[in-house]
């Protein structure tokens, strides 16, 4: 039995939907023509895959069936196919009607919004204000977009606010501020002035209101956030200076440990260091031998004379 919904939602910018009987399968994602397959080809395909006439659900049709299987049921299981589509359409319509009734109860104060609903409504209004800075909130006439939602039993959501705003703007019923989005010097246009405004198409588009942070220069932003953004790394020149100071302190500490004092006399014993290339020897004769050798002779002597090589190794190891 047809159900008449006295609170049916309408949209003046769109054509009214056709009755169910004229386009029942319009919302079925995979339904199309037979995809080039004849009735006999579909029948053969169904027999091969074991497709049978049975009750269907829209969940199966949308998510579990291939396009060929959907077309097979549309042709050979039409009664069950149409019932599934009809049940889905009725369920969707019932869901929409229930949502409209719930919204109407809130608008008529028959029920009070829950804390979650109230928070969602405030969030939708704030998002709309931020997205449409050209909308003059202080004008009482602009309440018309809320009245439009109330008259159509629509909940206060961001999407519904945008739809109502666009409907009212197309009729010239809202007051907008072109200067708020740099579209001229005018601060309040409505009616025919709005509809014939040279930038009308831009005036009804969503914008992005500049935040207080966006208005700051780089220096101003840094000053406000320097505790977070400040670079606390030690500069390389300071690191080198600190390393040099630490090395000097360690040297004097080591020298102090090796210093013997007697009255005004101090004697510091430093560890012995070998100098020179090739290494030098404290034995005069051996050092003279080393100095008399060219680099080529020295390398050959080290390679061929094991005793000489051992003596050189001993020098390199600090005569230990």
Q: What is the pLDDT of residue 17?
A: 44
**pLDDT higher than threshold 50 for residue 33:** no
Domains of the chain: which residue ranges?
A: 26-106, 113-241, 284-316
pLDDT of residue 10: 43
Name the nearest CA neighbour of 190 among 129, 126, 140, 228.
140
Least confident range from 17-31, 235-249, 292-306: namely 17-31
**Burial environment of residue 101 by CB neighbours within 10 A (0 to 12, 13 to 18, 19 or more):** middle
- Per the model's pLDDT, the better-predicted residue between 75 and 105 turns out to be 75
Beta bridge partners of 267: 260
> Can you give the pLDDT at residue 87?
83
Burial class (CB in 10 A: 0-12, 13-18, 19+), 48: exposed
The top-scoring range by mean pLDDT among 95-104, 156-165, 290-299, 303-312 is 156-165
> Do 30 and 70 touch, CB atoms closer than 8 A?
yes
| pLDDT of res. 204 | 92
Mean pLDDT, range 86-97, rounded to an integer: 78
Q: Cα–Cα distance between 252 and 226 in angstroms, integer?
A: 41
pLDDT of residue 266: 62
pLDDT given at position 175: 95
**What's the burial of 28, exposed, middle or buried (CB within 10 Å: 0-12/13-18/19+)?**
middle
Least confident of 23-32, 74-83, 304-313: 23-32
* CA–CA separation, 200 and 135 (whole Å): 13
- pLDDT at residue 25 in the model: 44
What pLDDT sits at residue 24?
42
**pLDDT band for position 263 (cuts 50, 70, 90):** low
Count the Cβ atoms, other than its own, within 10 Å of residue 209. 13
Q: Give pLDDT, residue 56.
A: 87
Looking at residue 132, its pLDDT comes to 93
Model pLDDT, residue 113: 80
């Amino acid at each position: 039995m047809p159900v008449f919904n006295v609170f049916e939602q309408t949209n003046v910018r769109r054509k009214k939907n056709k009755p169910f009987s004229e386009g029942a399968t319009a919302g079925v994602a995979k339904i199309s023509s037979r995809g080039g397959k004849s009735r006999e080809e579909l029948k053969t395909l169904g027999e091969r895959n074991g497709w049978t006439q049975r009750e269907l659900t829209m969940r199966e049709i949308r998510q579990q069936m291939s396009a060929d299987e959907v077309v097979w049921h549309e042709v050979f299981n039409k009664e069950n196919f149409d019932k599934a589509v009809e049940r889905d359409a009725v369920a969707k319509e019932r869901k929409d009607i229930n949502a409209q009734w719930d919204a109407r109860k809130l608008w008529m104060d028959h029920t009070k919004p829950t804390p979650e609903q109230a928070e969602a409504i405030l969030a939708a209004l704030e998002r709309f204000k931020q997205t449409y800075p050209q909308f003059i909130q202080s004008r009482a006439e602009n309440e018309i977009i809320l009245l439009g939602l109330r008259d159509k039993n629509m909940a206060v959501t961001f999407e519904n606010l945008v739809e109502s705003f666009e409907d009212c703007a197309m009729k010239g019923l809202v007051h907008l501020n072109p200067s708020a989005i740099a579209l001229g010097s005018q601060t309040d246009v409505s009616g025919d002035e709005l509809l014939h405004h040279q930038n009308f198409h831009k005036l009804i588009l969503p914008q992005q209101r500049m935040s207080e942070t966006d208005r700051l220069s780089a220096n101003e932003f840094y000053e406000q956030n320097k505790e977070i953004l400040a670079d606390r790394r030690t500069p390389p020149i300071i690191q080198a200076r600190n390393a040099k100071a630490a090395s000097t302190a360690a040297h004097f500490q080591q020298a102090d440990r090796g210093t013997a004092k007697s009255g005004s006399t101090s004697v510091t014993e430093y560890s012995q260091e070998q100098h020179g290339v090739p290494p030098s020897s404290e034995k005069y004769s051996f050092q003279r031998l080393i100095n008399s050798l060219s680099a080529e002779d020295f390398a050959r002597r080290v390679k061929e004379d094991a005793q000489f090589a051992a003596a050189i190794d001993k020098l390199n190891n600090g005569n230990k």
